[in-house]
Structures are given as structure tokens and as C-alpha cells.
């Protein structure tokens, strides 16, 4: 069995697994951050945990670019820039901006996050730079790419602004949670998750690939249930939490 066959089987399995994870996570809240609880084994500090979990994504994707068999084009450079813009920040900047002392993450969760980013980075990177057949520069003028790029950039901005709003709620050594009020937080509990979902839906459209679709599905599968858990948590811990604020989609849910 050659790599192409393994790649195709892994991609199909990845799509199916995303659906399974979506169902499971509506019943099981992953225990880190505000939802941390005992019984999940040893833990390490949140900053190191995020670094370990996220680092495979930019490193593996960049390696796929270096090992490419398709011809390098401006289009593939744009894809590399978009991916690395998100993940270099997420892996090597965001963890060190976290405020609140003593936040810890179970090692079991770190391993699952590490493996996800390893596989996801491989599938998306290897497809674009080896198994796609190539992206010519004409792809930049394709409606699919233009729409996808617009969604990616919009989601990226929403995500970063939402994270900045959360960051500003705490002093450097403060651990207490507060209710955010600015930006999209006026309408939904988790605009950071909303932004990330929009980002990777945009990526899937721009790349027009099964690995991209699988990533978008995984993003929804992971973040939609967690957004619901956050929303319920806010209502449980803040009696005056805005009653009309939705979970994830302004005006809908």
C-alpha cells in the first residue's frame, strides 16, 4: 500500500471520526480551563500544555511544504502564510500571553491535542503540496478561493479580537473569571470559537479539499459543544449573565 492509499483512507476516517467526536463532546466536557476537574490523571501547566498541543500544526505543515512534489506557486505560498499566521501565533505566542496562575491541563488531553494537530497538519499540508495535483496561480482568481479567503480573514480577525477582549479582563497574576461585554460578546458567549469556526470553513472553501472539509468539521465538532458548556457555565456562575446572549451564532444559537 503506497502513501496515497494510506492518505485517502486516513482522510475518510478523519471525516467519520469528526462526526463521532461531535456527538461525544455534547455529552462529555473536556476537563481543562474553567471545566477542569479531578480524575483525569497527571497535569502540567497551561502554557506548556498549549505549546505542546499546538506546535505540531505549524511544524508539520511547513515540513510538507519543504518536501513538496507539486510546483511551488504564489497560491501555495498564500496557503502557507495563512496556516502559519494562525498556528505560529497559537503555538508560540498565545500560550505565553495567558493570564491566571495555576491553570493546568491533564496530560491525556495534551496527548490527544498533539495527535490531532499532527494528523491534521499532515493531511492538509500533504494534500496541498503533494496529492492535490497542484494549485496554479489562476486559483487565486477562483470564486471559491476568493470567498474562502474572505471568510478566513474575517474569522481570523474575529478570533484575535475576542481573545484580546478576554485577555484584557485579567491582570497578569489574576485568576478570576469575568463576563466579557465588548465586541461580539454582546451577542454570543464565545466569539473566539465563532471566529475560529469561520476561519477553517474559509480554509476548506479556499482549498476545496477533503482534508480542509475534515478540518472544518473537526473545528465545529470540538468548539460547538465547548461553546455550549461555556454558555451554561456563565449562567451558573453569574446570576446576572445577559439572558438574551446566544451560545455561538448571533441571533440563532
* DSSP state letters, 54-86: HTHHHHHHHHHHHT--SPP-HHHHHHHHHHHHH
Q: What does the pLDDT read at residue 170?
A: 80
**Domain, as residue range, for 63:** 3-237
| 32 inside domain | yes
Own/partner contacts of 234-238, CB < 8 Å, gap of 24 or more, are 234/179, 234/189, 237/177, 238/179
- Tally of structural domains, the chain: 1
User: Quick check: 227 and 191 in contact, CB under 8 A?
Assistant: no
Distances (CA, A) of 97 to 27, 90, 156, 171, 207: 31, 10, 17, 11, 31
pLDDT, averaged in runs of 10, over the chain (253 residues)? 95 97 94 86 92 98 96 97 97 86 85 98 98 96 98 98 91 82 96 98 98 98 97 96 96 94
Q: Distances in Å between the alpha carbon of 71 and those of 16, 91, 129, 156? A: 31, 28, 8, 28
Residue 250 lies in a domain: no
Is 247 a member of any domain?
Answer: no
> What is the reported pLDDT for 101?
58
Predicted pLDDT of residue 20? 97
Assess if residue 150 is contained within a domain.
yes
Q: Is residue 252 part of a domain?
A: no
> Does this model's pTM top 0.85?
yes
> Quick check: 94 and 31 in contact, CB under 8 A?
no
Confidence at residue 188, expressed as pLDDT on a 0 to 100 scale: 98
Domain assignment present for 196 = yes
pLDDT at 100: 63
Amino acid at each position: 500500500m503506497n502513501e496515497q492509499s494510506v492518505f485517502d483512507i486516513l482522510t475518510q476516517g478523519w471525516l467519520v471520526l469528526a462526526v463521532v467526536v461531535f456527538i461525544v463532546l455534547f455529552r462529555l466536557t473536556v476537563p481543562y480551563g474553567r471545566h477542569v476537574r479531578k480524575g483525569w490523571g497527571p497535569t502540567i501547566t497551561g502554557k506548556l500544555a498549549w505549546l505542546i498541543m499546538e506546535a505540531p500544526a505549524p511544524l508539520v505543515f511547513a515540513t510538507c511544504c519543504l518536501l513538496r512534489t507539486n510546483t511551488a506557486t504564489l497560491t501555495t505560498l498564500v496557503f502557507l502564510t495563512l496556516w502559519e499566521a494562525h498556528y505560529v501565533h497559537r503555538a508560540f505566542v498565545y500560550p505565553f500571553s495567558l493570564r491566571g496562575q495555576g491553570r493546568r491541563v491533564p496530560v491525556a488531553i495534551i496527548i490527544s491535542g498533539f495527535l490531532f494537530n499532527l494528523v491534521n497538519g499532515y493531511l492538509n499540508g500533504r494534500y496541498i503540496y503533494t496529492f492535490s495535483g497542484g494549485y496554479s496561480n489562476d486559483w487565486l482568481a477562483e470564486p471559491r478561493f476568493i470567498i474562502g479567503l474572505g471568510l478566513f480573514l474575517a474569522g481570523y480577525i474575529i478570533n484575535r479580537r475576542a481573545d484580546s477582549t478576554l485577555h484584557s479582563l485579567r491582570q497578569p497574576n489574576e485568576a478570576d473569571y469575568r463576563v466579557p461585554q465588548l465586541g461580539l460578546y454582546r451577542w454570543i458567549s464565545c466569539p473566539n470559537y465563532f471566529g475560529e469556526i469561520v476561519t477553517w470553513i474559509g480554509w476548506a472553501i479556499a482549498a476545496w479539499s477533503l482534508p480542509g472539509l475534515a478540518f472544518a468539521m473537526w473545528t465545529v465538532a470540538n468548539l460547538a459543544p465547548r461553546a455550549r458548556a461555556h454558555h451554561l457555565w456563565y449562567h451558573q456562575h453569574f446570576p446576572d449573565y445577559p439572558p438574551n446572549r446566544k451560545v455561538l451564532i448571533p441571533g440563532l444559537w
